[in-house]
Amino acid sequence: MSSIMAMALAASIFATPVQISVNPVAVRAGATADIVITWGQTMPAGATLQWTATAGDAHSDGAGGYVYVAPADPGRVFIHLAVNTAQGLWGECAVPVQVYRQFIILKSDDFGVTSAGNLQRYTAYIDSLGSRGVKTSVGMFASGCVNPTADLVAKVTAWRESGLVEFFNHGYDHLYYLPTGMKGTADAASLGDDLRDKNYPAGTTYEFQGRPYAEQLDHLTRAQQTILDTYGFQMRTFGAPFNKIDSNTKLAVQALGQFNMWYFGPPDPNVYSVSRGGGEIEASTGVPSLSTYTTTHDLSRDLVVLQHHPAGQAFRDNWSEFIGILEQIHTDEGTYILPGEYADLMMHNMLPADPTAAIADPALECALRAALGQWTGTLDPASLAGLTTLQWANQASKIRSLGGIGACGALRQLDLRGNDVTSIAPLVSLWQAIGGEMNVLLQGNPLSDDITCNQIPLLDAKGLHISATSPCDNVLLTLVVDGQGALDPASGDHTVPRNTPLTVGATPAPGWKFVSWEGAPEAVPGSPKLSVVPAAHRSITAHFAKMSGFPVAVSAVTNGAVAVTPRQPEDGYTSGSTVTVTATANDGYVFKAWTGDLKGSTTNPATLVVNAVKTVGAEFSAAPPANIKTAAQRLLDGFAAADTDNSGGLSFAEASAAVRGLTRDQFSMLDVDADGQLTQDDLNQLIAANPGGCTCAKADFTLDGLKGRLADMFLFGLALLALLAFSVHKPRA
């Protein structure tokens, strides 16, 4: 969205002069909570307060304060305050509240995918709870969750995105360590976190009790990273195997800094911990029992954490007992909550979502009710469908999920600044369904860099204009090809920094030519190179036209160049034309052979008859040393570096790597003792025997070598003639 558009939309939404909050935001059925009023502006003299609640009652406490009295039945409640003057409504605000009888956290341990039985039983467990709308937390021991299939990753993702499942860190390997030093098994059949049924010897240590701090931190870190790398999410809750922890565990959790919830952990200002007690599901580890639950359940507690082990066959064999427990929880009107949601509730007053409701997020439903002015009964679908504007900016209760917003089929303007929205997917789906233009303010929401830098510019170009807090300011650049050719960057959509220079290159396909750019007035006519500085969405097309003649395309070559003469006309050569191709090697290289339509030919220059689209290229090889002595001296000078295996001798591979272009024949000439290895003695002997470059025992029959030998012979002849002349004219004694 442009800054002007964003400012115009922001200016159209007035600041709320009053807000309310409820403390606590989750209220037990029949209990009372304080209501706090925060005035953004001074309340007018003579104004009156009008309270409305969808359930329960909000009113003055008679002592200058205000209270909310929760109803007997649990559920989602909305409290509305209207401030009225003689002139009419002066200001209004609203807040959602969760009324509960008892919060229930299901803590199911020992999820793994490497055991077929574990996965099968867990799948049945999660799917069964999902069909009932029951939330559960699932402990993953990371070493048992590696190498999943793509289908399994998709299944885990779907479970998480349902809002009914939270996976938590249950350690890396779930092992224990016997006093002998042997590790206990991590096989699924032996897993289970209650030690009451186990008889481990004294001195046994566990993954997070009795083990060194560095080891515990490593296991926590590896577990987190394994799940992040494998399934794409970071776990926010920790629950130790066997429920065994020590002071090192607390230090490791603090050092890692990735958890905000801890099952049965010690007090910590940054990580909320829940205690065990108030109810048990299993009579013994892995065996659910309704009678055990009913006799241990304490309905007076605010929260009960029910630990169990669906991975075992015994749990599946007693499945009816577990279903009986769920039915009893329903009878007791328990409210299921995920551990991360409970931490948010206790530490940040953020209410849990209800994925089974039409509008999952309570703050979003509150915003919709405020927009419609509907504070009694269920939301009217027709009213939702006609809503065009939604405003819930910087409110005390923050929207976390936009799930269900699709019911608002006419929305065009949204101000959702300062909320906790992390996914815009429901918003995108709504916009796609209704089409046209939509303006959304999302500054201050914790959207990912991928969303703000990549998705939002693409959506902006198509009509969904989202303003968001972002580390980047990108715009969409769309590149299109008309005809046949390639672009660099490639054709398609690209998010690029706003007002940043960018070069686009166009390369025609064989038989085609570049013609022009469209959508780029700054283009140089006829130039396939384009420099642009996108300030907003741009769509640029490169036009290519088919040649009337035939081109000769030169393939990319290395270590040399290929020239075609005569120069190619704009529309290619006339059919039947003959061209000359010349290969020129770089220093240190020689022409080897042609590629393409002249493949195999070694004639240079060469001719080519153009009667179709032609392609030529050239191969160049390293030039061999001028003579054997030169090669020997190079190898001797760099012997230590060339001897990569420190054997004291150079193989052909080592020698040819050190001296570019060295042939096997030359290697054989250098190998004085013919043992397949070049030693320093070999090289010194050859140099000593050939001080002038003469190859003597092993001749160098290269052209340069023969030239060197002829030069040596010429110098020898001159020396012999001088000696004879001296002997003829030598004075007599």
In degrees, to the nearest 5, what angle opens at C-alpha 467 toward C-alphas 464 and 468?
125
Tens digits of residue pLDDT in 68-82: 999 999 999 999 999
DSSP state of 132: T
Residues β-bridged to residue 95: 79
CB atoms within 10 A of CB 7: 12
Tens digits of residue pLDDT in 208-261: 999 999 999 999 999 999 999 999 999 999 999 999 999 999 999 999 999 999
Q: What is the mean pLDDT of the chain?
A: 89
The pair of structure tokens assigned to 200 is 């481990």
- pTM reported for the whole predicted model: 0.72
Helix (H, G, I), strand (E, B) or coil at 414: strand
CA 313 – CA 191 distance, rounded (Å):
12
Looking at the chain, the whole-number percentage of residues with pLDDT higher than 90 is: 75
Tens digits of residue pLDDT in 651-695: 999 988 888 778 787 888 888 888 999 999 988 888 887 665 433
Tens digits of residue pLDDT in 402-417: 999 999 999 999 999 9
Contact (Cβ atoms closer than 8 angstroms) between residue 18 and residue 38: yes
CA 288 – CA 309 distance, rounded (Å):
9
CB atoms within 10 A of CB 382: 7
pLDDT of amino acid 187: 54
pLDDT of amino acid 658: 87
Tens digits of residue pLDDT in 495-534: 999 999 999 999 999 899 999 999 999 999 999 999 999 9
Question: Which helix or strand (DSSP H or E) is residue 619 part of?
Answer: strand 614-622
Q: Is the pLDDT of residue 367 over 60?
A: yes
In degrees, to the nearest 5, what angle opens at C-alpha 481 toward C-alphas 480 and 482?
120
Contact (Cβ atoms closer than 8 angstroms) between residue 577 and residue 552: no
pLDDT of amino acid 148: 96
Mean pLDDT of 21-47: 95
Helix (H, G, I), strand (E, B) or coil at 713: helix
Every domain of the chain with CATH number 1.10.238 lies at 628-712
pLDDT of amino acid 693: 45
pLDDT of amino acid 682: 87
In degrees, to the nearest 5, what angle opens at C-alpha 290 toward C-alphas 285 and 293?
75
Residues β-bridged to residue 620: 591
Q: Is the pLDDT of residue 423 over 90?
A: yes
Every domain of the chain with CATH number 2.60.40.10 lies at 3-100+347-468
Helix (H, G, I), strand (E, B) or coil at 258: coil
Helix (H, G, I), strand (E, B) or coil at 558: coil
Helix (H, G, I), strand (E, B) or coil at 510: coil
Closest CA to 626 of 712, 704, 709: 704
Domain 628-712 is in which class? mainly alpha
pLDDT of amino acid 191: 63
Looking at the chain, the whole-number percentage of residues with pLDDT higher than 70 is: 90
pLDDT of amino acid 285: 87
CA 697 – CA 42 distance, rounded (Å):
110
CATH number of 103-332: 3.20.20.370
pLDDT of amino acid 665: 79
DSSP state of 650: B
pLDDT of amino acid 710: 44
Helix (H, G, I), strand (E, B) or coil at 507: strand
CA distances from 474 to 1, 322, 388, 441, 454 (A): 11, 53, 28, 17, 8
Do you know the residue count of the chain? Answer: 733
CA distances from 112 to 311, 317, 333, 458 (A): 8, 19, 32, 39
- DSSP for 283-339 reads EETTEE-HHHHHHH--TTSSEEEEEE-TTSHHHHHTHHHHHHHHHHHHHTT-EE--H
Every domain of the chain with CATH number 3.20.20.370 lies at 103-332
Question: Which helix or strand (DSSP H or E) is residue 582 part of?
Answer: strand 577-585
Query: Which residue type sits at 227?
Result: I
Strands 176-177 and 438-442: unpaired
Report residue 634's pLDDT band, with 50, 70 and 90 as the boundaries. confident
pLDDT of amino acid 290: 98
Mean pLDDT of 47-69: 95
pLDDT of amino acid 6: 40
Tens digits of residue pLDDT in 424-474: 999 999 999 999 999 999 999 999 999 999 999 999 999 999 999 999 999
Tens digits of residue pLDDT in 268-289: 999 999 999 999 999 988 999 9
CA 625 – CA 631 distance, rounded (Å):
6
Listed as own residue / partner, the contacts of 367-372 with beta carbons closer than 8 Å and 24 or more positions apart are 367/391, 367/392, 367/395, 367/399, 368/408, 369/78, 369/80, 369/94, 370/80, 370/92, 370/93, 370/94
Contact (Cβ atoms closer than 8 angstroms) between residue 302 and residue 277: no
Tens digits of residue pLDDT in 339-359: 999 999 999 999 999 999 999
CA 654 – CA 68 distance, rounded (Å):
86
| Strand stretches in 445-532, DSSP E | 464-468, 474-482, 485-488, 492-497, 502-508, 512-518, 529-532
Closest CA to 93 of 10, 37, 55, 32: 37
CA 703 – CA 173 distance, rounded (Å):
70
The pair of structure tokens assigned to 721 is 């003639």
Angle between helices 247-256 and 213-231 (to 10 degrees): 40
Contact (Cβ atoms closer than 8 angstroms) between residue 317 and residue 283: no
Residues β-bridged to residue 177: 183, 205
pLDDT of amino acid 628: 81
CA 238 – CA 220 distance, rounded (Å):
9
CA distances from 76 to 164, 169, 187, 225, 472 (A): 17, 30, 43, 37, 39
Report residue 61's pLDDT band, with 50, 70 and 90 as the boundaries. very high
CA 254 – CA 6 distance, rounded (Å):
41
In degrees, to the nearest 5, what angle opens at C-alpha 99 toward C-alphas 98 and 101?
130
CA 416 – CA 399 distance, rounded (Å):
8
CA 181 – CA 354 distance, rounded (Å):
48
Tens digits of residue pLDDT in 464-499: 999 999 999 999 999 999 999 999 999 999 999 999
Tens digits of residue pLDDT in 604-618: 999 999 999 999 999
Examine residue 566 and say whether the peptide bond preceding it is cis (omega within 30 degrees of 0): yes
Closest CA to 336 of 364, 359, 303, 369: 303
Report residue 164's pLDDT band, with 50, 70 and 90 as the boundaries. very high
- As to burial, measured by CB atoms within 10 angstroms (0-12 exposed, 13-18 middle, 19+ buried), residue 571 is middle
Report residue 194's pLDDT band, with 50, 70 and 90 as the boundaries. confident
CA torsion sign for 333, 352, 412, 94 is positive
Residues β-bridged to residue 507: 486
Residues β-bridged to residue 595: 617
- As to burial, measured by CB atoms within 10 angstroms (0-12 exposed, 13-18 middle, 19+ buried), residue 620 is buried
CATH of region 3-100+347-468, choose from 3.40.50.300, 3.50.50.60, 2.60.40.10, 3.40.50.720: 2.60.40.10
